[in-house]
Amino acid sequence: MKIKSIIFAAVLFCSVSFSMNAGAYSCEKKGYGQGTAVDSGNCPTGAADFNNANRQYDAYALTSEENRIILTFDQGYENGYTAPILDTLKEKNVKAIFFLTGDYAKKEDKLVQRMIDEGHVIGNHGMTHASIPELSDSEIEEEIMSLHNFILDKYGYEMQYFRPPCGEYSEQSLAVTKELGYKTLFWSFAYVDWKTDAQPEPGEALERISGAGHSGGIYLLHSVSATNAQVLGDAIDSLRSKGFVL
């Protein structure tokens, strides 16, 4: 009986959110990926499937807006290209979402303030970039809200979007994130620009980014690649020429 009681207690801890209001959810760790299959509108079917399965948690890999594409940048460290990217976004009149880690928010205050001043959205990428589904409910709260409160105190900005580091999640982590007042944003297109020593030629990079356009797209980019920064303006122009709004 003692062993059964311990097992029951462990399952209960894993299955019920910290507020006890969300019900029972799976703690199984999952890694998000949109896959390569697309529908007739070039939209990744994996992203659409994720939306259908997880919208109850305010978790999305696509937006519902036809012909709109949202550019998002994960900001883990600075490599000298964020300022040129901000220059391009300002020139093209595009607002993006920048998902900050705690380390970036603390070290790069001038760039963060510029993002805010120029009308971009600041998103939460976790104080320590921890694997969210590996944390307890209270640890998830600390990981998200410690950065939330830091940004609020230092910059006077209140974040509302969270991106789980490495795209790792569980039903439980999505539910806890929602209870903290956050929407979770994944992506429907990821450009592998974080491998800075293995970037394609600019023309190929441009084709990858512009060729992936689809309605409701959420693009995952990083600001650490010289190639990325170089082709961003042309990619925006190309996507707009195809009828997309950024």
- Residue 99's beta-bridge partner residues? 74, 123
Contact criterion met (CB below 8 Å) for 125 and 146:
no
What CA–CA distance (Å, rounded) separates 197 from 199?
6
Q: Distance between CA 38 and CA 162 in Å, rounded?
A: 25
Count the neighbouring beta carbons within 10 Å of the beta carbon of residue 149. Answer: 13
Residues belonging to the active site: 74, 222
Close Cβ partners of 211 (under 8 Å, ≥ 6 residues apart): none
Is 122 in a helix, a strand, or coil? strand
Compute the half-sphere exposure of residue 54: CA atoms within 13 Å on the CB side of its CA: 29
| 162 CB-contact burial (10 Å; exposed 0-12 / middle 13-18 / buried 19+) | buried
Is-contact 246 65, C-beta < 8 A? no
Within the chain, what is the greatest distance between any pair of CA atoms?
Answer: 68
Distance of CA 197 to the CA centre of its chain: 23
> Which residue in 218, 221, 210, 192 sits closest to 81, CA to CA?
221
